[in-house]
Chains A and B, each alone.
Chain A
Protein backbone atom coordinates (compact mmCIF):
# COMPACT_ATOMS: atom_id res chain seq x y z
CA UNK A 1 0.00 0.00 0.00
CA UNK A 2 1.47 3.29 -1.12
CA UNK A 3 1.36 5.71 1.77
CA UNK A 4 3.03 8.46 3.74
CA UNK A 5 2.60 8.36 7.51
CA UNK A 6 3.38 11.48 9.50
CA UNK A 7 4.28 11.95 13.12
CA UNK A 8 1.77 12.92 15.75
CA UNK A 9 0.55 16.39 16.63
CA UNK A 10 2.80 18.68 18.63
CA UNK A 11 2.21 21.47 21.14
CA UNK A 12 5.16 23.85 21.46
CA UNK A 13 5.93 27.12 23.14
CA UNK A 14 7.20 30.11 21.16
CA UNK A 15 10.92 29.88 20.47
CA UNK A 16 11.00 26.09 20.61
CA UNK A 17 11.85 23.69 17.79
CA UNK A 18 9.95 20.77 16.34
CA UNK A 19 10.76 17.99 13.88
CA UNK A 20 7.95 16.45 11.86
CA UNK A 21 8.54 13.10 10.17
CA UNK A 22 7.01 11.60 7.04
CA UNK A 23 7.60 7.88 6.48
CA UNK A 24 7.06 6.41 3.03
CA UNK A 25 6.05 2.87 2.19
CA UNK A 26 4.78 0.89 -0.78
CA UNK A 27 6.87 2.49 -3.50
CA UNK A 28 10.57 3.05 -4.33
CA UNK A 29 11.43 5.96 -2.02
CA UNK A 30 13.65 7.75 -4.51
CA UNK A 31 11.04 7.64 -7.31
CA UNK A 32 9.43 10.91 -6.22
CA UNK A 33 10.50 14.02 -4.46
CA UNK A 34 8.69 15.01 -1.29
CA UNK A 35 6.95 18.35 -0.97
CA UNK A 36 5.75 20.04 2.20
CA UNK A 37 2.53 22.03 2.38
CA UNK A 38 1.28 24.23 5.20
CA UNK A 39 -2.32 24.97 6.01
CA UNK A 40 -2.96 27.54 8.71
CA UNK A 41 -6.30 27.40 10.52
CA UNK A 42 -9.12 28.27 8.13
CA UNK A 43 -6.67 29.09 5.35
CA UNK A 44 -5.65 27.58 2.02
CA UNK A 45 -2.77 25.37 0.99
CA UNK A 46 0.69 26.93 0.95
CA UNK A 47 3.58 25.18 -0.81
CA UNK A 48 6.60 25.31 1.48
CA UNK A 49 9.14 23.52 -0.68
CA UNK A 50 10.46 20.21 -1.91
CA UNK A 51 13.31 17.82 -1.32
CA UNK A 52 14.95 15.70 -3.99
CA UNK A 53 14.98 12.16 -2.58
CA UNK A 54 17.85 11.17 -4.88
CA UNK A 55 20.25 13.95 -3.94
CA UNK A 56 18.82 15.28 -0.69
CA UNK A 57 18.85 18.78 -2.13
CA UNK A 58 16.03 20.95 -0.78
CA UNK A 59 14.23 23.81 -2.49
CA UNK A 60 12.39 26.31 -0.32
CA UNK A 61 9.58 28.68 -1.17
CA UNK A 62 10.05 32.30 -0.25
CA UNK A 63 9.40 32.73 3.44
CA UNK A 64 10.38 29.17 4.31
CA UNK A 65 14.15 29.33 4.31
CA UNK A 66 16.17 29.82 7.46
CA UNK A 67 13.85 28.53 10.18
CA UNK A 68 12.61 25.60 8.10
CA UNK A 69 14.83 22.69 7.11
CA UNK A 70 13.96 19.65 5.00
CA UNK A 71 16.03 16.50 5.38
CA UNK A 72 15.98 12.79 4.62
CA UNK A 73 16.97 9.50 6.15
CA UNK A 74 16.87 7.20 3.14
CA UNK A 75 17.73 4.14 5.26
CA UNK A 76 14.31 4.41 6.94
CA UNK A 77 12.50 5.96 3.96
CA UNK A 78 11.67 9.06 5.97
CA UNK A 79 11.58 12.77 5.21
CA UNK A 80 11.73 15.40 7.92
CA UNK A 81 10.60 18.99 8.35
CA UNK A 82 12.39 20.75 11.17
CA UNK A 83 11.15 24.14 12.31
CA UNK A 84 13.05 26.31 14.75
CA UNK A 85 12.34 29.53 16.65
CA UNK A 86 8.66 28.72 16.45
CA UNK A 87 6.15 31.57 16.39
CA UNK A 88 2.44 31.54 17.13
CA UNK A 89 1.83 32.12 13.41
CA UNK A 90 3.49 28.75 12.65
CA UNK A 91 0.39 27.09 14.11
CA UNK A 92 -0.89 24.99 11.24
CA UNK A 93 -1.35 21.55 9.78
CA UNK A 94 1.75 20.44 7.90
CA UNK A 95 1.35 17.92 5.10
CA UNK A 96 3.96 15.95 3.21
CA UNK A 97 3.16 14.62 -0.26
CA UNK A 98 4.96 12.98 -3.13
CA UNK A 99 5.76 15.22 -6.08
CA UNK A 100 3.93 12.91 -8.44
CA UNK A 101 0.59 14.54 -9.21
CA UNK A 102 1.42 15.07 -12.87
CA UNK A 103 2.02 11.32 -13.18
CA UNK A 104 -1.40 10.63 -11.72
CA UNK A 105 0.08 9.38 -8.46
CA UNK A 106 -1.53 10.99 -5.42
CA UNK A 107 0.11 10.29 -2.09
CA UNK A 108 -0.29 12.55 0.93
CA UNK A 109 0.48 12.17 4.57
CA UNK A 110 -2.40 12.53 6.99
CA UNK A 111 -1.09 15.88 8.22
CA UNK A 112 0.62 16.88 11.44
CA UNK A 113 -0.88 19.63 13.54
CA UNK A 114 1.67 21.91 15.17
CA UNK A 115 0.29 24.31 17.74
CA UNK A 116 2.55 27.08 19.01
CA UNK A 117 1.21 28.69 22.13
CA UNK A 118 2.48 30.02 25.43
Chain B
Protein backbone atom coordinates (compact mmCIF):
# COMPACT_ATOMS: atom_id res chain seq x y z
CA UNK B 1 0.00 0.00 0.00
CA UNK B 2 1.13 3.56 -0.66
CA UNK B 3 1.37 5.49 2.58
CA UNK B 4 0.64 9.21 2.40
CA UNK B 5 2.19 11.32 5.14
CA UNK B 6 1.10 14.93 5.58
CA UNK B 7 2.80 17.62 7.57
CA UNK B 8 2.05 19.43 9.67
CA UNK B 9 -0.90 17.73 11.33
CA UNK B 10 -2.24 21.13 12.27
CA UNK B 11 -1.29 24.72 11.64
CA UNK B 12 -2.39 27.91 13.32
CA UNK B 13 -2.62 30.83 10.95
CA UNK B 14 -4.24 34.19 10.47
CA UNK B 15 -6.27 35.69 7.65
CA UNK B 16 -3.87 36.80 4.93
CA UNK B 17 -1.15 34.30 5.84
CA UNK B 18 0.51 32.03 3.31
CA UNK B 19 0.01 28.40 4.31
CA UNK B 20 1.91 25.42 2.93
CA UNK B 21 1.00 21.78 3.52
CA UNK B 22 3.21 18.95 2.38
CA UNK B 23 2.37 15.37 1.47
CA UNK B 24 4.92 12.62 1.01
CA UNK B 25 4.07 9.31 -0.64
CA UNK B 26 5.90 6.10 0.22
CA UNK B 27 6.35 5.46 -3.51
CA UNK B 28 5.91 7.27 -6.80
CA UNK B 29 2.23 8.06 -7.50
CA UNK B 30 2.78 9.09 -11.14
CA UNK B 31 1.10 12.46 -10.52
CA UNK B 32 -2.21 10.86 -9.55
CA UNK B 33 -2.37 13.16 -6.55
CA UNK B 34 -5.32 15.27 -5.44
CA UNK B 35 -6.04 17.64 -2.58
CA UNK B 36 -9.36 17.91 -0.76
CA UNK B 37 -10.79 20.39 1.70
CA UNK B 38 -13.25 19.20 4.31
CA UNK B 39 -15.35 21.25 6.70
CA UNK B 40 -17.13 19.75 9.72
CA UNK B 41 -20.21 17.76 8.82
CA UNK B 42 -19.57 18.05 5.10
CA UNK B 43 -18.26 15.83 2.34
CA UNK B 44 -14.75 16.53 1.09
CA UNK B 45 -14.40 19.05 -1.71
CA UNK B 46 -11.87 18.62 -4.50
CA UNK B 47 -9.41 21.52 -4.77
CA UNK B 48 -6.54 20.24 -6.90
CA UNK B 49 -6.12 17.17 -9.12
CA UNK B 50 -3.20 15.71 -11.06
CA UNK B 51 -0.84 17.54 -8.67
CA UNK B 52 -1.51 21.08 -9.89
CA UNK B 53 -4.76 21.32 -11.86
CA UNK B 54 -7.19 23.69 -10.16
CA UNK B 55 -10.69 22.29 -9.87
CA UNK B 56 -13.39 24.40 -11.52
CA UNK B 57 -14.73 27.05 -9.17
CA UNK B 58 -11.83 26.85 -6.71
CA UNK B 59 -10.17 30.21 -6.03
CA UNK B 60 -6.69 30.68 -7.52
CA UNK B 61 -5.18 31.31 -4.10
CA UNK B 62 -5.03 27.51 -3.92
CA UNK B 63 -2.19 25.88 -5.82
CA UNK B 64 -0.50 22.51 -5.93
CA UNK B 65 2.98 21.43 -6.92
CA UNK B 66 5.39 18.54 -6.73
CA UNK B 67 6.22 15.29 -8.46
CA UNK B 68 7.11 11.71 -7.75
CA UNK B 69 6.67 11.35 -4.02
CA UNK B 70 6.69 14.92 -2.68
CA UNK B 71 3.80 17.32 -3.06
CA UNK B 72 2.69 20.66 -1.70
CA UNK B 73 -0.61 22.50 -1.32
CA UNK B 74 -0.25 26.26 -0.92
CA UNK B 75 -2.87 28.78 0.10
CA UNK B 76 -1.38 32.11 -0.90
CA UNK B 77 -3.53 34.36 1.30
CA UNK B 78 -5.69 32.57 3.83
CA UNK B 79 -9.34 33.62 3.90
CA UNK B 80 -11.85 33.03 6.72
CA UNK B 81 -13.62 30.33 4.70
CA UNK B 82 -10.35 28.37 4.32
CA UNK B 83 -10.25 27.22 7.93
CA UNK B 84 -10.80 23.51 7.42
CA UNK B 85 -9.01 20.17 7.22
CA UNK B 86 -7.04 19.30 4.09
CA UNK B 87 -6.24 15.85 2.76
CA UNK B 88 -3.96 14.58 0.02
CA UNK B 89 -5.15 11.52 -1.91
CA UNK B 90 -3.42 9.18 -4.34
CA UNK B 91 -5.21 7.17 -7.00
CA UNK B 92 -2.19 5.65 -8.75
CA UNK B 93 -2.58 2.21 -7.21
CA UNK B 94 -5.21 0.23 -5.36
CA UNK B 95 -5.76 0.62 -2.52
CA UNK B 96 -6.19 4.34 -2.97
CA UNK B 97 -5.07 6.16 0.16
CA UNK B 98 -5.49 9.48 1.92
CA UNK B 99 -3.08 11.43 4.04
CA UNK B 100 -4.01 11.76 7.70
CA UNK B 101 -5.15 15.34 7.24
CA UNK B 102 -3.93 18.82 8.15
CA UNK B 103 -6.19 21.04 10.19
CA UNK B 104 -5.85 24.75 9.47
CA UNK B 105 -6.94 26.69 12.53
CA UNK B 106 -7.18 30.30 13.49
Chain A positions within 8 Å of B, measured between CB atoms, are: 35, 37, 44-47, 49-50, 59, 61-62, 95, 97, 99, 101-104, 106, 108-111
Contacts and interface: CB of A to CB of B under 8 A. Distances in A.
B79 interface: no
Interface size class of B (residues with CB under 8 A): 20 to 34
Contact of A102 (B32, B85, B95, B99): B32
A111 B43 CA distance: 7
B43 A104 contact: no
A44 B38 CA distance: 10
Interface of B: 1, 32, 34, 36, 38, 43-46, 49-50, 53, 55-56, 85, 87, 89, 91, 94-101
Given A44-B87, A102-B49, A106-B55, A61 B44 contact: no
Contact of B87 (A45, A62, A110): A45
B91 A95 contact: no
B53 A35 contact: no
Contacts of B96: 35, 47, 50, 61
Contact of B45 (A49, A106, A110): A106
Contact of A109 (B43, B98, B99): B43
A46 B101 CA distance: 11
A115 to B, nearest CB: 15
A62 B1 contact: yes
Nearest to B38: A45
B98 A46 contact: yes
B101 A101 contact: no
A108 B97 contact: no
B96 to A, nearest CB: 5
Contacts of B101: 44-45
B32 A44 contact: no
A79 B96 CA distance: 19
Nearest to B85: A44
Contacts of A47: 89, 95-98
A110 B43 contact: yes
Given A45-B87, A101-B46, A102-B34, A50 B94 contact: yes
